[in-house]
């Protein structure tokens, strides 16, 4: 079975969404992935400047086949989500926007950067990853 290397971009203020997404992906019986994201319980240590933090995030994104971005409206105003989008675009990574469950609107910043959008459910997310990425 192929293992997808994924960077899950998210706001630490909404880290429960990250955890729920990881649970959705983990629950899929034929999908295997390695999570390269930076959750609050496993932060990047040693980066003392924004430049060092950007370099550390680049190192996280570099081996990934896709960057998944929670497309809630808060993403529009998150400095670090915007930096992660810039890094992913510069590296030529596939960006997948995940629409929040029940949301009627999503971030235009994320929508404009994304190669694809998917709904907040396991099958939609997994099929979008498989369709748009190469392992």
Per-residue pLDDT of 62-120, as tens digits, reads: 999 999 998 765 555 566 788 899 999 999 999 999 987 777 788 888 999 999 999 99
Domains of the chain, earliest start first: 3-132 (3.40.50.1220)
Q: Give dist(CA 89, CA 91) in Å, integer.
A: 5
Angle between helices 122-132 and 15-27 (to 10 degrees): 80
- Global pTM reads 0.89
């Amino acid at each position: 079975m192929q293992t997808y290397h994924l960077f899950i971009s998210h706001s630490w203020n909404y880290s429960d969404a990250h955890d729920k997404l990881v649970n959705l992906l983990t629950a899929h019986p034929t999908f295997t992935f390695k999570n390269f994201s930076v959750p609050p319980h496993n932060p990047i240590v040693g980066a003392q400047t924004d430049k060092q933090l950007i370099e550390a995030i680049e190192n996280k994104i570099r081996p990934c086949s896709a960057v998944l971005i929670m497309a809630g409206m808060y993403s529009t105003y998150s400095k670090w989500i915007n930096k992660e989008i810039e890094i992913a675009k510069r590296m030529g990574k596939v960006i997948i926007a995940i629409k929040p469950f029940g949301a009627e609107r999503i971030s235009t910043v994320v929508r404009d950067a994304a190669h694809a959008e998917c709904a907040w459910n396991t099958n939609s997310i997994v099929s979008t990853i498989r369709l748009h990425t190469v392992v």
